[in-house]
């Protein structure tokens, strides 16, 4: 892997690769380790460069900063793949995929490639048993799909590969949404084992790439507080936290989720694990349920708050913070002494510090003192590059009322 400490090198023009030249000062983010170049930061693009092509990146003094893929249709016009001058050919992508696989402990279900987190901007690759799910989020990756399918078959030997490039962010790259089976045969149905709990999922129909893999480590963090306890899992999707709580011997488990399809799937998962009578599923708005239970002065020992992102833009942060405050306040009010709150945000615009401030504020209003048992983050198969804050998207706290 290229060391970022490498001093930018002086190079001569006249090689085959297209290139871009940055405006003065606009090299700083790249030198600090980020990989994005915005349209407004580019002084000139070599006229040979077609969208999707590799381009060498030069600062205004003509020092090389590595190689990326260009797409003029995107505000993030170049995404750097390497700090070295090297070809972004099949051998390059094979090395990157091998490095991503080597970093992970093999598991039945896992994220094999996490975009910038694995120095493969725009590519998501998940393993679900003997199937893979590929998501292409950028033009550069989209154009390289045939090669990536070949490499994924060579390295991971899947029975089938499903494409889930139905992410709305593709629009920002000038791409339409698409999904389907792109290799082998599958109806999309899989049953996977995540840390001892079995989950059914449909890779073609369920949210994101079929399953939320990012919480696996946090299920384990929470379950040790659940034996003999009353547990409330809000925003439960396919029942993730609720299933672990029930399996760990919770006395009562309630799961609240707004999507009917997700609740159907969650019930199926409970059945798969012999936990059907042990979890009470409610298809409802968690805000309403939390308010109702708060008014009824209900009490719980463990509450999980894992909401979807309340804001996709910086402008909405204040509204989002009010949403986080409301649910955290109600949850904290309902927790008995010794009770545990697992609270999360998956919004890019809400930092760990902002979430901490919300929780401190909510605890004060609820007249509760809380202890930080653990700061929570995404599962290790979603690697974080500290130089690229956008790679750290799931933030949470495990708190105990003392
Ligand atoms: N905790 C889950 C993932 C949660 S994702 C796991 O471990 O797998 C967030 C979920 O919240 C989604 O399933 C979404 O359908 C649901 N959701 C969105 N808005 C909601 C609301 N107002 N009330 C309840 N659920 C909601």
| CB 183 less than 6 A from any atom of ligand 1 | no
Assign residue 165 the CATH number of its domain.
Answer: 3.30.750.80
Q: Same domain, yes or no, for 256 and 310?
A: yes
The number of distinct structural domains making up the chain is 3
CATH code assigned at 278: 3.40.50.150
Digit-coded pLDDT (tens) for 79-138:
999 999 999 999 999 999 999 999 999 999 999 999 999 999 999 999 999 999 999 999
- Are 76 and 116 in a shared domain? no
Q: 140 and 75: one domain?
A: no
CB proximity list for 162: less than 8 A, separation 6 or greater: 131, 132, 133, 134, 179, 180, 181, 182, 186, 188, 203, 204, 210
> 234 and 289 in contact (C-beta within 8 Å)?
yes
pLDDT at 217 > cutoff 90? yes
- What is the residue with the minimal CA distance to atom 12 of ligand 1? 237
- Cβ–ligand 1 distance for 286 under 6 Å, the answer yes
- Domain hosting residue 165, numbered range: 90-187
Confidence of residue 208 (pLDDT cuts 50, 70, 90): confident
Task: Dig out the tokens for 239 from the structure.
Answer: 């029942």
Last-in-domain residue among 44, 65, 82: 82
Last residue of a domain, one of 172, 187, 202: 187
In the predicted model, what is the mean pLDDT of residues 367-382?
98
List the catalytic residue out of 131, 226, 234, 346. 346
- Write down the pLDDT at residue 310: 86
Establish whether 12 is a catalytic residue: no
Structure tokens at 385: 């590059």
Looking at residue 10, what is its pLDDT? 44
Question: Are 380 and 323 in a shared domain?
Answer: yes
Q: Is residue 111 part of a domain?
A: yes
| Residue entry with tokens 């105990």 | 400
CA distance 48 to 16: 10
Confidence of residue 16 (pLDDT cuts 50, 70, 90): confident
**Does residue 194 belong to any structural domain of this protein?**
no
Most informative mutation of 197, 237, 305 for ligand 1 (most atoms within 8 A of CB): 237
Q: Whose CA is nearest to atom 20 of ligand 1?
A: 258
> 249 CA to middle of ligand 1, Å?
23
Q: What is the pTM of this model?
A: 0.92
Would 197 be classed as within a structural domain?
Answer: no
């Amino acid at each position: 892997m290229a060391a970022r400490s490498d001093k930018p090198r002086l190079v001569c023009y006249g090689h085959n690769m297209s290139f871009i030249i940055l405006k003065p000062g606009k090299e700083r983010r790249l030198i600090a380790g980020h990989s994005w170049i915005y349209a407004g930061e580019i002084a000139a693009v070599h006229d040979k460069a077609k969208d999707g092509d590799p381009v060498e990146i030069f600062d205004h003094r003509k020092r090389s900063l590595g190689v990326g893929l260009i797409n003029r249709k995107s505000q993030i016009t170049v995404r750097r793949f390497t700090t070295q001058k090297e070809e972004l050919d099949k051998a390059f992508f094979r090395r990157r995929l091998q490095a991503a696989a080597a970093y992970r402990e093999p598991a039945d279900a896992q994220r094999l490639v996490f975009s910038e987190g694995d120095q493969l901007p725009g590519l998501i690759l998940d393993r679900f048993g003997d199937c893979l799910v590929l998501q292409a989020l950028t033009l550069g990756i989209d154009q390289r799909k045939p090669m990536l399918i070949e490499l994924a078959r060579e390295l991971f030997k899947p029975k089938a590969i499903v494409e889930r490039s139905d992410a709305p962010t593709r629009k920002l790259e000038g791409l339409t949404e698409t999904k389907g089976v792109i290799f082998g045969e599958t109806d999309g149905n899989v049953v996977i084992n995540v840390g001892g709990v079995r989950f059914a999922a449909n890779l073609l129909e369920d949210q994101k790439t079929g399953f939320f893999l990012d919480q696996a480590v946090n299920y384990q963090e929470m379950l040790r507080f659940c034996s003999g306890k009353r547990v409330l899992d809000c925003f439960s999707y396919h029942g993730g936290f609720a299933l672990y709580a029930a399996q760990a011997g919770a006395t009562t488990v309630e799961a609240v989720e707004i999507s009917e399809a997700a609740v159907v799937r969650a019930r199926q998962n409970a059945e798969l694990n012999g936990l059907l009578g042990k979890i009470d599923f409610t298809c409802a708005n968690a805000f309403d349920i939390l308010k109702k239970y708060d008014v009824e002065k209900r009490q719980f020992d463990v509450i999980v708050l894992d909401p979807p992102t309340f804001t996709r833009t910086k402008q909405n942060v204040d509204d989002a913070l009010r949403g986080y405050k409301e649910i955290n306040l109600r949850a904290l009010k309902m927790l008995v002494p010794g009770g545990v709150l697992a609270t999360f945000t998956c919004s890019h615009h809400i930092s760990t510090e902002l979430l901490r401030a919300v929780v401190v504020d909510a605890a004060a209003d609820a007249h509760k003192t809380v202890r930080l048992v653990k700061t929570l983050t995404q599962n290790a198969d979603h690697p974080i590059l500290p130089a690229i804050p956008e790679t750290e998207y799931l933030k949470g706290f495990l708190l105990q009322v003392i």
